[in-house]
Amino acid sequence: MIIRWLKPMLAVVLSLNFSVAMAVVAEPHQHAGDIQPWKSNGQAYTNGNLFEADFGDLSGGLYKTDDPGIDADTSQGAFGAGNWLQLQVLGTLQFWNGSSWGGTANGEYVTIDDALGEVTTISSSGVTNPFAVVGEFDALGDIHEHLDFSIRNAANALGGSVGAYWIDLVLLETAPFSTSPLSTISAPFSIIFNRGLAEVDFENAVRAVTAVPVPGAVWLFGSALAGLVAAGRKRSLGVSA
């Protein structure tokens, strides 16, 4: 009698477990710590305004990292298929010396290698090539890419003083080979890179950033610049998988 009732119960349990497993597999996987943009009502959004990375991570070695990645959250809104996603750097590079944020100690600068092989350079004196192509949205308006970030010294070699490095950016959706936004650009966000600090000291630097917001004038200037920079970078880009 017990066996007769046990078989149907086991079937139900197995069926429920299988359904849950399939739901987990079908759910889009978002990576913790990644920048997760989406578009809604013509506006680009991100999942936060501050992201952390480490120049000493395992994959990048002492002076490189490919974090944070950029992984679109299409569950909240997809971008236009075939359009490009780009980063635009705002302002200058800031350095944490253990007690305050300011200019770099020894002429260090951060570089971003974009999807087209072009390099953006951010130093305490300014930015060269402020637009970095992340990639091309697929047929579903999705994208997941990791660009390479590096810290270099005044001798143009990989290296940098121990401390934290802070850059500000926005994300924008554009047509291929253009820097003119097709939708309202995202609000500014920050990436803070650790270079050799203990975790507690790095978190002190991060907490100090939250007390120094991006100046509104810098954001407005960046928005204007996006519409004025020449839109004819003659380079090719493959569709992201």
pLDDT on residue 96: 97
Interval 72-99 mean pLDDT? 97
End-to-end Cα separation, the chain, in angstroms: 55
- Is residue 88 scored above 80 in pLDDT? yes
pLDDT greater at residue 25 or residue 221: 221
- Is residue 237 scored above 70 in pLDDT? no
pLDDT on residue 26: 36
| Residue 241 one-letter amino acid | A
Distances (CA, A) of 110 to 63, 159, 194, 224, 227: 10, 10, 12, 24, 25
CA dist., res. 199 & res. 55, Å (int): 13
pLDDT greater at residue 14 or residue 76: 76
Rounded to the nearest angstrom, the gap between the alpha carbon of residue 87 and the centroid of all alpha carbons in its chain is: 8
* Number of residues that this document lists for the chain: 241
Report the largest interatomic distance among the alpha carbons of the chain, rounded to a whole angstrom.
82
- Cα angle 188-191-197, degrees, rounded to a multiple of 5: 155
- Is residue 225 scored above 70 in pLDDT? no
pLDDT on residue 210: 77
- Is residue 8 scored above 90 in pLDDT? no
Question: Where does the pLDDT of residue 213 fall: very low under 50, low under 70, confident under 90, or very high at 90 and above?
Answer: low
What is the full DSSP assignment across 45-68?
Answer: E-S-SEEEEETT-TTT-SSEE--S
pLDDT tens by residue, 147-184 = 999 999 999 999 999 999 999 999 999 999 999 999 99
CA dist., res. 217 & res. 22, Å (int): 48
- Is residue 233 scored above 80 in pLDDT? no
- Find out whether the peptide bond into 68 is cis, omega within 30 degrees of 0: yes
Percent of the chain whose predicted confidence (pLDDT) is above 70: 73
Q: Residue 172: which of 231, 112, 230, 226 has the closest Cα?
A: 226
pLDDT tens by residue, 30-69 = 556 899 999 999 999 999 999 999 998 877 788 999 999 9
